[in-house]
């Protein structure tokens, strides 16, 4: 699979059409299916859920070919896993219905609605081993980070996220065991806990989707035919030399340039991108340029971009300089692994099809930085997130009401 080889953006309208057709068929089965209507209904749901899972995975694959640095990449794979978990739950019921009797009458429909209504809770159960291990790894990395770099609020983000993840799982499991009262009281209880599970589910799907997407883009190696490599700047030392973090980005760009030269004989031009911060003696671009020249890169193969103050401006101003020299240029950018995916989003936002290469990062620094990037992702594309989030809540409310009215 190669990135940027598909010109048409993948669509998922087929899932909407499939959902509408399945809903009509479900109603027809319930009205005219006779004594075997519930078995036919779960079989229909099995086929539908498996088909949706496959369509989401296909959309994810095609999205990587079209534009890997997209929120759709996260959504497709994150929710494909969730839909597949519902499929496994309904498939278990199907097996039980083939083996045992007792799902006739309203009880069968009641059981089916119950499984759909509790799908958020079930996904939390399925994913708990991953959440527990992920949270433990975050805590260990944060403790190591504090030991190496000292205590700062930003250095405990991983621990905070771990507490929220595990605490959310424990809260839902515990509160579900303590419920009594009238049917209305129980319904309100289930509605509230289900809404909490829905909120948790959304962010968990986003988290898992972003982890998978980031792993894929950081392991990807662009073709050795590139014209420019943008080195994204970050803080420099007080003496004007690069920090280990920035040095790793420059070294990664140099390694790619050497590899490309060996394979194709083609030189690459370096774009040192980064302005001068208030506590920096020189601009980040000047710092990078000096480092590159000390390692044998001639001055004519280095372009300085010294006006940017963040990643978006890195991409915007670097693109302007690159387009002025070669409008058809093939471009990559070098940054640390945790930063590749979000940087790619900024590149596409300024309409530059640049592909990221991942620089090495100390193991204890990476998870906490990845958490910061994930939080940054959550603050963007608010409209799309609100629409998806509201749709999930609406579906849960409808399923809960139907469940208690059967």
pLDDT at 126: 84
Residue 54 has pLDDT above 80, yes or no: yes
Residue 34 has pLDDT above 80, yes or no: no
Any idea what DSSP says for residue 70?
Answer: S
- Average pLDDT estimate for 118-147: 86
Pair of tokens at residue 367: 């998870």
Categorize the per-residue pLDDT at 105 as very low, low, confident or very high, splitting at 50, 70 and 90. Answer: very low
- Would you call 366 helix, strand, or coil by DSSP? helix
Categorize the per-residue pLDDT at 367 as very low, low, confident or very high, splitting at 50, 70 and 90. Answer: confident
φ/ψ (deg, to 5) at 305: -120, 105
Q: Are the C-beta atoms of residues 340 and 217 closer than 8 Å to each other?
A: yes
pTM across the whole model: 0.87
For residue range 322-341, what is the model confidence (pLDDT) as tens digits?
Answer: 999 999 999 999 999 989 99
Dihedral sign, Cα of residue 296, residue 297, residue 298, residue 299: negative
- Average pLDDT estimate for 354-381: 82
Domain ranges (residues) in the chain: 13-220+381-405, 228-329
Pair of tokens at residue 312: 């978006």
- The helix/strand count (H/E) of the chain reads as 13, 5
- Average pLDDT estimate for 286-309: 95
For residue range 244-273, what is the model confidence (pLDDT) as tens digits?
Answer: 999 999 999 999 999 999 999 999 999 999
Residue 241 has pLDDT above 90, yes or no: yes
pLDDT at 218: 93
3-state helix, strand, coil in the chain (%, to 5): 70, 5, 25
Residue 396 has pLDDT above 60, yes or no: yes
Q: How far apart are CA 353 and CA 47, in angstroms?
A: 38
Categorize the per-residue pLDDT at 177 as very low, low, confident or very high, splitting at 50, 70 and 90. Answer: low
Share above pLDDT 70 across residues of the chain, in percent, rounded to a whole number: 96
Share above pLDDT 90 across residues of the chain, in percent, rounded to a whole number: 49
For residue range 59-91, what is the model confidence (pLDDT) as tens digits?
Answer: 999 999 999 999 899 999 999 999 999 999 888
pLDDT at 154: 73
For residue range 181-224, what is the model confidence (pLDDT) as tens digits?
Answer: 677 777 887 788 888 888 888 888 888 999 899 999 999 999 99
Pair of tokens at residue 131: 């959440």
pLDDT at 158: 84
């Amino acid at each position: 699979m190669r990135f940027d080889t598909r010109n048409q953006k993948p669509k998922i309208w087929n899932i909407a059409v499939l959902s509408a057709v399945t809903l009509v068929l479900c109603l027809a089965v319930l009205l005219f299916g006779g004594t075997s209507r519930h078995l036919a209904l779960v079989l229909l749901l099995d086929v539908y859920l498996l088909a949706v899972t496959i369509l989401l995975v296909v959309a994810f694959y095609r999205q990587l070919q079209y534009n890997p640095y997209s929120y759709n990449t996260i959504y497709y794979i994150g929710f494909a896993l969730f839909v597949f978990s519902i499929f496994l739950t309904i498939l278990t019921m199907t097996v039980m219905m083939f083996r045992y009797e007792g799902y006739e009458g309203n009880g069968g429909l009641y059981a089916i609605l119950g499984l759909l209504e509790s799908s958020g809770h079930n996904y939390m159960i399925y994913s708990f081993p991953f959440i527990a291990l992920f949270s433990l790894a975050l805590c260990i990395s944060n403790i190591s980070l504090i030991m190496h770099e000292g205590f700062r609020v930003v250095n405990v983000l991983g621990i905070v996220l771990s507490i929220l993840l595990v605490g959310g799982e424990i809260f839902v499991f515990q509160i579900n065991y303590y419920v009594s009262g009238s049917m209305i009281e129980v319904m309100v209880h289930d509605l509230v806990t289900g809404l909490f599970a829905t909120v948790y589910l959304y962010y968990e799907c986003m988290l898992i989707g972003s982890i998978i997407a980031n792993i894929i883009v950081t392991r990807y190696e662009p073709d050795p035919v590139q014209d420019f490599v943008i080195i994204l700047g970050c803080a420099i030392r007080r003496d004007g030399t690069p920090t280990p973090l920035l040095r790793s980005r420059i070294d990664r760009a140099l390694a790619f340039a050497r590899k490309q030269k060996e394979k194709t004989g083609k030189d690459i031009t370096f774009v040192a991108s980064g302005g001068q911060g208030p506590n920096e003696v020189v601009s980040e671009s000047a710092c990078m340029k000096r480092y590159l020249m000390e390692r044998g890169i001639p001055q004519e193969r280095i372009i300085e971009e010294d006006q940017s103050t963040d990643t978006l401006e890195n991409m915007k101003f670097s693109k302007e300089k690159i387009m002025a020299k070669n409008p058809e240029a093939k471009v990559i950018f070098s940054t640390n692994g945790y930063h590749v995916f979000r940087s790619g989003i900024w590149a596409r936002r300024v309409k530059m099809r640049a592909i990221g290469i991942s620089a090495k990062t100390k193991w204890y620094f990476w998870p906490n930085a990845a958490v910061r990037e994930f939080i940054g992702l959550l603050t963007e594309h608010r409209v799309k997130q609100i629409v998806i989030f509201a749709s999930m809540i609406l579906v849960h409310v409808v399923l809960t009401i139907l469940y208690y009215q059967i």
